[in-house]
Amino acid sequence: MTPRLPDSAKLALERLKAGNARFISRDVNVDARVKHLDRGELAKGQAPVAAILACADSRAPMEILFDEGFGDLFVVRVAGNVVAPSIVGSLEFAVGKLGVSLVVVCGHSNCGAVGATLAAVQGEGGAPTDTSIGDIVERIRPSVAELVHAGLTGDVLLQRAVRANVRLAADHLRHGSTLLERRVLGGELGIIGAEYQIETGKVEFFEEPGV
């Protein structure tokens, strides 16, 4: 049975949903936009409401699409929102040192890293051998290979692959770190997946245990 989200994580999730609704309606929080002006308070420390593992895509700025300001979110961004040791360590810091109780893995529509992985699996080309892009592709490959072999194609394949990659990353975080796994099983931490639709601005959350 999947552990329920702790109450603090539920509150953080509701805040993210409300912020995204404001972003979509363009009724943004002015205080969040000017929060950086209060640098004196920010210099004293940070207490983010949530941590987010997101893609590095320039079209997916987490603070903006959740209508949050400086110090509100602990964001880790990497192409394809893949999980590597440094990513795990960054999120362990957010949870263990900063007290974050909600980690969101947020993929997005038309993800180039996922698309490149699909092309590689389909034999339509791969990452340059003289770059580290291949490492990203190999981290995504296990989540999408089955979809390719199932015969899915086009936009349907890419959409399913984006979500499958998010689920793989979330599962890796739940079970690939002793600290994170212990917090999840103890009901102190929630790790959930989400997808940002670049076309509409909406973030859809899924895998919400106990919600």
Structural domain contains residue 2 = no
Read off the pLDDT of residues 54-113 as tens digits, 9 standing for 90 and up: 999 999 999 999 999 989 999 999 999 999 999 999 999 999 999 999 999 999 999 999
Secondary structure tally for the chain: helices H, strands E: 9, 5
Helix (H, G, I), strand (E, B) or coil at 164: helix
Tell me phi and psi for residue 107, to 5 degrees: -90, -175
3-state secondary structure of 132: coil
Q: Is residue 211 part of a domain?
A: no
Assign residue 88 a region (left: φ > 0; alpha: ψ between -120 and 50; beta: otherwise). Answer: alpha
CA dihedral over 116, 165, 60, 55, signed as positive or negative = negative
Residue 163 has pLDDT above 60, yes or no: yes
120-146: pLDDT as tens digits: 998 876 566 667 888 999 999 999 998
Domain membership of residue 136 (yes or no) is yes
Residue 15 lies in a domain: yes
The CATH number linked to 173 is 3.40.1050.10
Q: Does residue 190 sit in helix, strand or coil?
A: strand
- How many structural domains does the chain have? 1
Overall pTM > 0.95: no
pLDDT tens-place string over residues 2-22: 567 899 999 999 999 999 999
Answer yes or no: is pLDDT of 181 > 60.
yes
Evaluate whether residue 150 is within a structural domain: yes
